[in-house]
Amino acid sequence: MNDVIAPPSVRALAREKGIDLQHLAERLGRSSITREDLVSGSSPAKAPAGDTSYWDVEHAAYGPVSEEPTSRFAQVASANLSAANTLIPQVTHHDRAEVSAIEALRAELKPEAQARGIKLTALAFQVKALARALREFPRFNASLSVDGQMLILKDYVHIGIAVDTPHGLMVPVVRNVDRKGLWQIASEIADLAARAGQRKVGPDEMGGASMTITNLGGIGGSAFTPIVNPPEVAILGITRTEIVPQWDGAAFQPVSMVPLDLSYDHRVINGAEAARFTSYLAGLLADPRRIMV
Amino acid sequence: MADNHADFIVLGAGPGGYACAFRAADLGHKVVLVDPRATLGGVCLNEGCIPSKALLHAAEIIREARHGNDWGISTGNISVDLDTLRARKDGIVAQLTDGLRGLAKRRKVQTVRGSARFTGTNTLDIDGTAWSFDQAVIAVGSAPVRLPGWPDDPRIWDSTDALDLREVPKRLAIVGGGIIGLEMATVYAALGAQVTVIEFMDQIAPGADAEAVAILRTALEAEGIAIHTGTKVTNVKAAKSELKLMCEGGFAGEIKADAAIQAVGRRANGHLVDPHAAGIDLDERGVIHVDETCRTSVEGIFAIGDVTGNPMLAHRATHQGHVAAEVASGHAAALDTDLIPSVAYTSPELAWVGLTQNQAKERGVAHKVASFPWAASGRNLSSGGGDGLTKLVYCPETSRVLGATIVGRNAGELLAECILAIEMGATLEDIALTVHAHPTLSETVAFSAERALGTLTDL
C-alpha cells in the first residue's frame, strides 16, 4: 500500500505529469497529496503581476542556444523568492565589523581545532554572535502573522544557514544556538552543509529559524542585498573579510574588516533599529569575549 | 507475408479482453478481437460469474420460499424444473453476450473466431491464417485445475460442468472450499443435493477473515452442507454405482458421492498462445508476468487478466484491459492499486478487500479492528437476514482504514463503500461522519467506525 495518501484520480494525474508522489510528499512535509498540490507543484513559478510578454523572446534568433529544464526544486524556490521580494518591503543596511580578534583567536585555536577534527570557521563565530544579538533585540527574532495583525516573538534562537548546493539553495537550521558552544556550532554547521549537498537534510532540520545567515565570504564580493526569507523578518549577508587601513588618531593601521549586509522587513523593523542591531553585532564580532558574557 | 494485418489485436474476449478491445477502439485504434468461442464474454459471461449468479439467485428463491413459514407464508412443496432454470440462465447469458456483440459492432471492432498462437514478435497464426500486428494484448484467461490421479469419469465435474446444470446428484462432493466451491455448494444444496465440501486448508475461503468465515461456515452447515477442512483427498474410485473419495486429515475416511466437483483453483492459460515464439517467458504456472502498465517483456505486447496470475478476478482483468489499451495509445496509465476485492456469492455473502486481520497479524502491521455484529442491525433482522459481521481493519495511529471484511446479505454490494474509503485514504471519522441512510445494511460500516471511535449508540 502507498505510504502517501492520495485519491486514485490524483495518483493518475501524478503519473501523467511524471510526478513522484512519495517525493512530493516528503518535500512538502505532508502525508497526503491533493490535486491542487500537483497543479501548483508542477507548474512553473507564477510570474509577477504585469505584462511580461516582452520576456518571451525567440533567443535562437540571436545565436545558438540550448535548453535545460528547471527542476521542481528550483521552480518552488523561484516562486518563494518572487513572493518574498514582491510582498515584503525590504531595506538593506550595510555596515562592517572588525574581526582581527576573531582571526587571532581562530589562529590560536587552530591546533585544538585540528585535534578535535572541527574546522572553527568565521561563520561559527558569526552565528554565535548573531544569536547573542537576537536575544538583545527580540523584534529581530520575530515573525509577522500572515494577516499582519500580530507580531510573534520567539523565545528560542535557531539560525538558518544558506547553503549553496548543486541542486539549488538550501537553508538547514542550527537549533538553540544561544545555548551551544562554538565547537558544537561549527561542527553542526559542517554536518548540515555536507548533508545539504547530498540532499539528505530532513524536513525537521529546515524551517523555524529566527534569522538566516548567508555568507559569501569564501567566494568574494564586498556587499550584496540578500532577500528576507519569510516568515523571518531579517537576513544577514556577509561577504569577504578585507584588510583595510584604519586611522588610529596618529597613523593608519591595517585591520581585518568583514562587511555586514542586513536586509529586513520594514513593516517590523525600522532603519534606526536596524542600524543599532548591526552596530551591536559588529561590536560583538570585534570583541568575541562579549559574545560569551 | 501475412495475409492479414491488425493495428491492435486482442487475444481472448473475456471481461479483460473485450474491455481492452473496446477501450482501444474508443481511443482510435482499429481493433481485432480473437476468441475461440462463438460468443463474446469469455469464461466469466459464458460459464463463470454470470451463469453462476443466475443459479445462486435461484438458490436464494428456494431458500426464501423455505423460510417463508417463519413469516406465516407457506408456498407448499417447492419443485424445481431444471430445464426451465437452465433455459433462464442461458437466456441471461445470451442476452449479455448479444449485448457485447452489439457494443463491438458499434465500435467497429472486428471479431475473429479462432485460437491464436504467436509465430514471431509481431506475427500470429489464427487457425491456419497468418496475421501480423503492431500491438497485441494476451487475454486468454485461465482454466480449472484438474487434480492428478483422478479417474476419467463423467460424474467428475469442473466448475463449467457444474454450471451446465445437467442434473442434481443425490450426493455431491466438492473438492475445494474456495469461492467457486462454496458457490457451487450453495447452489446444489438449495437444489436438494446432499453436499460435502472438502478443503485442504484449515478454513474454507482461505485468505479471508477467520471470524467472518466462521459465520459463513455455520450458515452453510445450517443449510445441510457438510464441511471438512484440513482434509486431503488421497484417492478417488469410480465404482459403477458411486464415486468413492478417500480422505485423510481433518476428516479421515470415505465419502461416497454420485458426482464430484473439482474446484481447487484455476491455472493460467499462457501456453495456449505459444508466447515463446514472440520471446515472452511463461513461468511454471503458465503465467505471463507483466508490470503495472501490463507490458510484457516484449515491446508492443501486453498481457492482462488471469493469464498474468493472481488474483484471477474479472474486475482486475477489466481494469488491466483499460490500462493496456491506454498505455498502448501513449497514455501514462497503470493499475496503481493493490485493492482488488474478493466476493463469495454464498448465502450469506462474504466479501473482503485490503488487509485482513489475519494478514495484519502475520505481517506485523500495526492495526486495530472495528466491527459491528449484524444481530444488532434493524435492517438485517427486518429483512430476514441471519448472522453477519462488518469488520474494518485500521491504522491505530491515523485511524485510516486498511481493509474490510463483510459477511452477510449483500456483502458484495456493501463492500464498495469500503474500497472507495481505502482508496481515498478515509479515516474512521470520515466514515462515521458520513450520514448513512437508516435502516440500511450499509449503516453497519458506519456503526463499525463509530464503535471504534466510542460514538456508537446502537450497541
Name the closest residue on chain A to residue B339, using Cα atoms: A1
What is the rounded distance in angstroms from the CA atom of residue B361 to the CA atom of residue B128?
Answer: 54
Question: Are A15 and B424 inside 8 Å of each other by CB?
Answer: no
Question: Are A6 and B425 inside 8 Å of each other by CB?
Answer: yes
Question: Are A8 and B423 inside 8 Å of each other by CB?
Answer: yes
B242: left (phi over 0), alpha (psi -120 to 50) or beta: beta
Name the closest residue on chain B to residue A17, using Cα atoms: B332
Q: Is B66 on the interface with A (CB under 8 A)?
A: no
User: Cβ distance A226 to A263 under 8 Å?
Assistant: yes
Give the helix/strand (H/E) hosting A153. strand A151-153
Q: Which residues of A are catalytic?
A: 266
At A146 the pLDDT is 84
Name the closest residue on chain B to residue A5, using Cα atoms: B425
Q: Is B27 on the interface with A (CB under 8 A)?
A: no
> For residue A15, which residues of chain B lie inside 8 Å, CB to CB?
332-334, 336
Which domains are delineated in chain B?
Answer: 4-144+267-328 (3.50.50.60), 156-264 (3.50.50.60), 348-453 (3.30.390.30)
In this structure, the number of other CB atoms found within 10 A of the CB of residue B434 comes to 14
| DSSP per-residue string spanning B192-244 | T-EEEEE-SSSSSSTTS-HHHHHHHHHHHHHTT-EEE-SEEEEEEEE-SS-EE
Q: Is B333 on the interface with A (CB under 8 A)?
A: yes
Question: Are A15 and B333 inside 8 Å of each other by CB?
Answer: yes
Of B334, B398, B423, the CB nearest to A7: B423
At A79 the pLDDT is 87
Question: Are A7 and B424 inside 8 Å of each other by CB?
Answer: yes
Which domains are delineated in chain A?
Answer: 8-79 (no CATH), 90-292 (3.30.559.10)
What is the rounded distance in angstroms from the CA atom of residue B24 to the CA atom of residue A214?
Answer: 56
Q: Is B402 on the interface with A (CB under 8 A)?
A: yes
Question: Are B402 and A11 inside 8 Å of each other by CB?
Answer: no
What is the rounded distance in angstroms from the CA atom of residue B384 to the CA atom of residue B377?
Answer: 11
> For residue B402, which residues of chain A lie inside 8 Å, CB to CB?
1
Query: What is the ipTM score, two decimals?
Result: 0.85
Q: Average pLDDT of each block of 10 consecutive residues along chain B (459 residues)?
A: 86 98 97 97 94 96 91 91 96 96 97 97 96 98 94 94 94 97 97 97 96 98 97 96 96 96 96 96 94 96 97 97 97 94 97 97 96 94 92 96 97 98 96 96 97 93
Of B331, B337, B425, the CB nearest to A5: B425
Contacts of A51 (CB under 8 A, 6+ apart): none
Name the closest residue on chain B to residue A19, using Cα atoms: B332
Q: How far is CA B242 from CA B94, B161, B236, in A?
A: 35, 18, 11
Question: Are A18 and B332 inside 8 Å of each other by CB?
Answer: yes
pLDDT exceeds cutoff 60 at A252: yes
> For residue B423, which residues of chain A lie inside 8 Å, CB to CB?
7-8
Report phi then psi at B60, rounded to 5: -65, -40
Could you give the dihedral angle defined by the CA atoms of residues B405, B158, B274 and B283, in that order, rounded to the nearest 10 degrees?
Answer: 50
Of A12, A15, A32, the CB nearest to B425: A32
Distance in Å, alpha carbon of B420 to nearest chain A alpha carbon = 9
Distance in Å, alpha carbon of B231 to nearest chain A alpha carbon = 34
Distance in Å, alpha carbon of A4 to nearest chain B alpha carbon = 9
Q: What's chain B's length in residues?
A: 459
Of A1, A7, A15, the CB nearest to B332: A15
Q: What's chain A's length in residues?
A: 293
- Look-up: residue for cell 553542526? A188
The per-residue pLDDT for range A33-88, each reduced to its tens digit, is: 999 888 864 444 444 445 677 788 888 888 899 988 888 888 888 888 988 998 89
Distance in Å, alpha carbon of B19 to nearest chain A alpha carbon = 19
Distance in Å, alpha carbon of A18 to nearest chain B alpha carbon = 8
Give the helix/strand (H/E) hosting A255. strand A252-265
Q: Is B291 on the interface with A (CB under 8 A)?
A: no
Name the closest residue on chain A to residue B323, using Cα atoms: A12
Which of A2, A5, A34 best probes binding to B when mutated, by most B CB atoms within 10 angstroms? A5
Banded model confidence at residue A24, pLDDT cuts 50, 70, 90: confident
The per-residue pLDDT for range A80-117, each reduced to its tens digit, is: 898 899 889 999 999 999 999 999 999 999 999 999 99
> For residue B337, which residues of chain A lie inside 8 Å, CB to CB?
8
Q: Residues of chain A whose C-beta is under 8 A from some C-beta in B?
A: 1, 5-8, 11-12, 15-16, 18, 31-32
What stretches of B107-193 adopt beta strand conformation (E)? 110-113, 116-118, 123-126, 129-138, 142-144, 156-157, 171-175
Burial (Cβ within 10 Å: 0-12, 13-18, ≥19) of residue A261: buried
At A40 the pLDDT is 64
> For residue B416, which residues of chain A lie inside 8 Å, CB to CB?
none
Contacts of B217 (CB under 8 A, 6+ apart): B203, B204, B227
- Cell of residue B55, nine digits: 443459479
Distance in Å, alpha carbon of A35 to nearest chain B alpha carbon = 12
How many C-alpha atoms does B420 have within 13 Å on its Cβ side?
8
> For residue A11, which residues of chain B lie inside 8 Å, CB to CB?
336
Name the closest residue on chain B to residue A3, using Cα atoms: B425
Name the closest residue on chain A to residue B424, using Cα atoms: A7
Scanning A65-221, the segments in alpha helix (DSSP H) are 72-87, 100-108, 110-116, 122-136, 182-197
At A42 the pLDDT is 46
Of B331, B338, B424, the CB nearest to A1: B338
Of A5, A11, A18, the CB nearest to B336: A11
> For residue B398, which residues of chain A lie inside 8 Å, CB to CB?
31
The per-residue pLDDT for range A195-219, each reduced to its tens digit, is: 998 888 888 899 899 999 999 988 9
- Cell of residue A80, nine digits: 518563494
> For residue B333, which residues of chain A lie inside 8 Å, CB to CB?
12, 15
Name the closest residue on chain B to residue A12, using Cα atoms: B333
Distance in Å, alpha carbon of B338 to nearest chain A alpha carbon = 7
Mean pLDDT of A17-41: 85
Question: Are B334 and A15 inside 8 Å of each other by CB?
Answer: yes
Residue B276 has what DSSP assignment? Answer: G
User: Cβ distance B372 to B389 under 8 Å?
Assistant: yes
Question: Are B332 and A16 inside 8 Å of each other by CB?
Answer: yes
Between chain A and chain B, the number of residue pairs with CB atoms below 8 A apart is 26
At B36 the pLDDT is 97
> For residue A22, which residues of chain B lie inside 8 Å, CB to CB?
none
